[in-house]
Structure 1
Amino acid sequence: MTYAFPEPPAWRRRPWSRRTPLGPDIGIGILLFLVEAALFLWVGFGYGMEVWAAQGQQEQVEAAQLAQLTWMQRFFVATIVFAGLAALFRAPWTVLSQLLAAGTVAALLVLAQHDYDRTHPDSASTSGADYAPCFSGSGKCS
């Protein structure tokens, strides 16, 4: 004789115990993607306005660019976290939309970081033609 375990109460079911229905999954995925895109564009516009308002003052322009890069990095992490939560709730279309958003943000972040690095090269040494590097470590080379 076998005994079947009773169905656990509704309040004890975990979100990952069953797959999210298709309709809410697609709706939430699209809505979250659109909200993230609007937020990204709005904040990017705000940082662009800060650069424009700096009127060529290089320190303020650089500060705004670095703040935008930092914000983009945090936004990228947030999209990855949302993708992880969607995977936990077994919502494959939401996971797909979040991975698409994370990929887009990652590409834009890489492009922005590359542009910043290209405009801010490391300072090259200003040595003359008679410069001879000292490899001994003593500091007494001539």
Structure 2
Amino acid sequence: MDLAFAISLFLLGTAWLVLDWVFGLGMDVWAAQGDQGRIDTAGLAHIRRTQVLLIVVLTVAVLAGINRAWRTVVALGLATLLVGGVLMAAQHQWDTSHTSPGCTRYAAHC
């Protein structure tokens, strides 16, 4: 039972992440038709949804740990690593696309 639940939760989290990336972010960027303000809003909304997913996965992992369902904890740990990696990539992409090339990070004109 624990293994089936663990696999189901891992697949659910991964599917949600992929579908949000393709349909949530991708369709919003496509619908923006080049409007940078709407594209930025869609990117920030995607980052926020990914943060929420990370919190949910960690919360469920803690609850599974309390119930001593170690397979579920391992599966959710892997899902946490996946979601964290996607979150890091999205935030890195956001940071690199919103800094000017000759700008020092903490300079007054940045």
TM over 0.5: yes
Paired residues for 1:8-19 under 5 Å: none
C-alpha distance in 2 between matches for 1:108 and 1:44: 10
Paired residues for 1:49-88 under 5 Å: 49-88=27-66
Q: By how many angstroms is 1:90 displaced?
A: 0.5
**Percent identical across equivalent pairs?**
35
Say whether 1:99 aligns with 2:77. yes
Larger radius of gyration: 1
* Runs of 4+ in structure 1 over 2 Å off: 122-126
Give the equivalent residue in structure 2 for 1:21: none
Write the deviation string for residues 75-131 of structure 1: whole angstroms up to 9, x where unpaired. Answer: 1111100100110110000000001000111011011101100000177639xxxxx
C-alpha distance in 1 between matches for 2:19 and 2:97: 25
Give the equivalent residue in structure 2 for 1:121: 99
Tell me the matched-pair count.
Answer: 103
Q: Residue type of the partner of 2:21?
A: G
Q: Which segments of 5 or more consecutive residues in structure 2 lack a partner in the other structure?
A: none
Work out which structure has the larger RCO, using CA pairs closer than 8 Å and 6 or more positions apart in sequence: 2
Q: Which segments of 5 or more consecutive residues in structure 1 lack a partner in the other structure?
A: 1-23, 127-142
Give the equivalent residue in structure 2 for 1:48: 26
Q: Tell me the SS of whatever aligns to 2:7.
A: helix
Tell me how large the CA RMSD over aligned residues is: 1.6
Q: Tell me the SS of whatever aligns to 1:90.
A: coil
